[in-house]
A and B are shown apart, each in its own frame.
Chain A
């Protein structure tokens, strides 16, 4: 019984330290020192409305836009996850065949052999904001044809929105699809 009483009293004060002070103090520091990150790296338009987060992918079904990865949750950022297909699951092969067929329909000029694997696989979170630089390059002919923008203009936009691995060795080069599409939209508005 003595242990129960000590547990409750010790826990109460450790709770104040670990839950109340720790979390509230750091929330305060973050709000003052790093407001952008603390709020979720949000992206605003010229009217100061939130149009998304740099870190969270969006659904781009319109072929005029660069498209992101397969997402079984359709980029609903109120949840997250993947269908958890095992490598041997026949549903995985079926879904990939469907993605390949859809690709061929939208991009008749680009052969399947230059279709990068990230475009036909589901990300772990279902919210992957990025595609590989190869996946962006493979979509340039389609977007150029549909929007009338020149391929080398698009190529330089892709390059501007590509980040290399952090410090050169941590992670992989990636193209942020939302930022890239914002740049495409801007260019289309200008021309």
Chain B
């Protein structure tokens, strides 16, 4: 049986890397007594797959991992057990059973989009200029790979944006087909705002934060179903007490 788990990564734990998160979950499964399925072979490992690694230092309330279990208690009970054995900075929010049709695909290959909130360490940018930035028909950025450098237009990959009280909301294309990282958007914004003659405020703020002007917070990951974006957890269903195996 396939289970999808949604969790947060906040506070001091945003300074642990993606591989550390994987190791964290491997140990958490044992401490919480999750009846996880192991691979065959000499050194069996847990069947576990993570969606979309988060950058070191970024926070999230929309992280996902899929696991295979042999048996399970109800969603409520499993969330309780996992949170009891885990750290408060990695909170388990959802524990759902994935329907059979999505069984073959894992959390990673489901991902189509992601929501972010960008916090500005040096204060919010000018809203008119931001609007002008997103109003562009094309936003070309240069993308370096190991062998070549090419120009890619990222504008079509920005699905939505909005300036909120706390920061900038972004909905970006994500996943294996066309992944756009929020860092790339903000680099383009930096270039744009500087070209417009006004240096990005964040770049000149007090407190020596120039090298890291933004803090990215992931809000949700989405899959696409019949043209609609739906949160990854919504592809699964809650396990009620009576149906627990």
A and B physically associate:
no
